[in-house]
Structures are given as structure tokens and as C-alpha cells.
Structure 1
Amino acid sequence: MFTDKEVTPQLDPARIPAHVAIIMDGNGRWAKKRFLPRIAGHKQGMENVKTITKAASRMGIKALTLYAFSTENWKRPDSEVNYLMSLPVDFFGVFMPELIAENVRVQVMGELEALPAKTRQAAQAAMADTAKNTGMILNFALNYGGRDELRLATQAIARAVQAGTLDPAAISDDTIAAHLMTAPLGPLADPDLLIRTSGEERISNFLLWQLAYSEMVFTPVLWPDFTPAVLTAAIAQYQSRDRRFGGLH
């Protein structure tokens, strides 16, 4: 674990992780520490997405996946859920010119049809408005759950088998990957590095298939306080490791 109090290390530009995924945790605790309502933490957290998106893009990261709202988050109080559902509308409405200026392409994955209409429309508009951008992919996981994703992929593969268009013996890792919500990311689908903020050390139903060989870094820094310097420190930790993918080097 590390904090932003450490000296910012020098990174090897040739070994920047291509795909970084972040579980943005700690918005509520950030607000509580300041005697503010939880939604104030979510608002500050969304502001920080702008900062970290720009920093990641300028570092040379090719895909940044952010866990914005899980399939389990519907269990929260209605007032908080309603506020969380309004955030993408505000975020894309205000930040879109900057995303386009940064050449960032937006992707949104999850069960989007279950989102409120305004939230879904904002996500779809953001993807359409940035579709021609060729820089970093900013991939939001919105109403996403890893088990949900695997269930839907299994059902789709089963339908293909039932229809006679797929031989069960031909089902490979690539077949499964092609049916996952990260398929639009192509060769970037699997994160090289997973970061979780706030000190929790679990993956919380996030990218269960894709994280098989990802490096994981946990920081006690709460998401609204997560700075480009902390991101740099996490990448330095990633660069200090020897990734063997189950083999020997």
C-alpha cells in the first residue's frame, strides 16, 4: 500500500500499462470525514474522474476502465441511487468538450437497458460523440457486475450451440472473451493493472474473467483524494513486478 506522501517516482515510458482498471472506492467515507452528505463525496469523486482521465491519457495509457456503478449498488437508498444516476448526465454534459479535445473515446459497458432513460441516453450520446476519437478509451462500467457478465455470455454461447452455429468442442477462451462486455476493447480487454482505492482489498465482482493475470495495487487513498501522483506511484509499483502469466522467466 502507498499514499501520495511518497516521492513521485520516475516511470519507464516503454512499460506503461496499456489498460488500467480502477475500483473508485471511498466517496462516502471522504464525505463523512468532512461531515458532508454522501452525495457530496460522489460529486467530488466524479470531478476527480476528469483529473485522472486527463492524467492517464497524457501518460500513454491506452484504456482506462472505471467501476462507476455495480449491479449491487441498486441496494443503496433511493436518494443516493437517484443522485448516482444523475452524475453521468452532468459529467458528459460538462466534460464532453474536454474529452474531445483530449481525443478520448468513451465506452460504457453494463446492462444499459436497465438504466433510467436520461442516464442511458447520456451514455449513448457520449459514445456517439467520441466514436471517431483515436486516443485513450475511457471505459465506464455502469450497472455492471462480473457474474452478471459471465451469465449473459454463457447464455449467448448456449444459444449459438442450440442453434447449431457453434460446436461445443470449439468453445475457446477467445469465444468467451468475444461474448464479454469488454469485447469492444479488442486486444486491450484484459487490464494490465487493477487499482482499488480506500484501503479495501477485494475485487467486488469486477472483471472476474479479465483480471486473471492482472497486477493489483491497493491504496488507502480515498477516491476523491486520488491524484495523478498516486496513479504514478501505482504504475511504478506495477513496473517493479515481474509478470510471468503462470510461466517461468
Structure 2
Amino acid sequence: MPRTLSDEPLKDDFVVSENNIVSDFVDFYIDYNQVEDGGTLYVNPILNEERSSQGTKIEKVDYYWDGKLVLTKTTAPFIWDTQVVHKDTEPHSWTVSIKYRNAANRTNYYNHSFSNFTTIKDDECFTYFKLMSGRKDYELGETVKSIVKSFKGKKCSKKTSIKLYFDDELIGESSTFPYINEFKLTDKKIGKHIMKCAITQKEKDYSYTYYNEETVIITPSSNM
């Protein structure tokens, strides 16, 4: 059976004015990898400026490993990389805590945690699909950017391929990774939709398919 992700992004941070209009918002995508024992884990918090209020800036990023502060960065690039060599003490957890100042000149924090982190074993393959956004709401006409990453142990001989769907519409497929898909939301209904990634692993005459899903909520265009 495939392993599953245990990362835990927090809810979007936004400011609501007196007339209940969202006046300030932020969007972070947390990029990271999976590693074998002895490999280098990297975590890269990316501010999606086009999906955040104008003027939003990162002021400080703190990284925690198993609950202990291990790195603080106050200037870009804000990437953390560390060698994972504690195979006998798995699982681990890591957290990235981002202090940022938004367009309303308010200081806020955004936290993202990954619990039950384990290294990839020699015969293991691991593939996952994610939106490249911490938010699930998209305006009609906006482009949804998503990514599929795949990682293999030294002795894994399985071949991986994926098919990506928006509702029931096939919008992409690949057998090379990382695979990035950009899908523009045109002629779609307002409301909830499902993006589904069918992940197939094949070895000799045996194949197995499992699915990752993400919810996309389409809102009316602000230009309408």
C-alpha cells in the first residue's frame, strides 16, 4: 500500500472589514521533498504574491525539528536543508513558522507542520499530488497550478505514471517528475470541484492505482 502524507497546513489568514468584504489575505505554498536515510531534506516556503494582498512580505522564518527550534532566517532565500540520518528514531516531525507583514501593516504568522515524517526505504516508491497554493479558492478565469512529485528508494524498480483530472475531465498525464500542471478555469461552474490524480505503479505484470484528491472552490471573477 502507498504511504500517505501527514502534513498539516493551517487555514488561510485574512482580514475582514466592517462590511464583511475580505480586504487582506495571504497564500503560501510549502515546497519540500522526501529523502532516504542520509539524504538532504529541504523545505522552501514560497509566497504566492499574485494570490496575496499587495505589499505582503516575509519578515522571519523559524524551522522546528521534533519540536526544537533548529534554524531562523530573516533574509531570502528562506530555504532550510538538513541531512536526515536518524533512522533509528523515526518518525519525526517538522514545522515551518512564517512571520510576515501584510498590506494592512499587521504582523501575522503562518504555520505548516508535517508529522510522522519517515525516510524512504530502499524498496519503496512514494508519489503525491498537491495544489501549489495554501488556499483552495480560485476566481473564475484564474489558473490552478498543481504539482506531482515522485521519490524512489535505491532498489525500487516500480514505474510510476499519473493522470490528472478536473472533475471528470482529463487535463494532464505524465511519467516523468516533478510534473507541474497549469489549468485555467474557463467555462466552469461557481462552487466546489474536485481535482483528482490517478497514480499508477507498475512492476512487471502487476500494477496498482491509487488516488490523491484536492478540492477547488471557484468564486465569481472580481472583474465581473
Identify the TM-score tier after normalising by the shorter chain. under 0.3
Q: TM (normalized to structure 2)? A: 0.24
Q: Which has more helix, going by share of residues? A: 1
Q: Which has more strand, going by share of residues? A: 2
Q: TM (normalized to structure 1)? A: 0.22
Does 1 or 2 have the higher relative contact order (CA < 8 Å, sep 6+)? 1
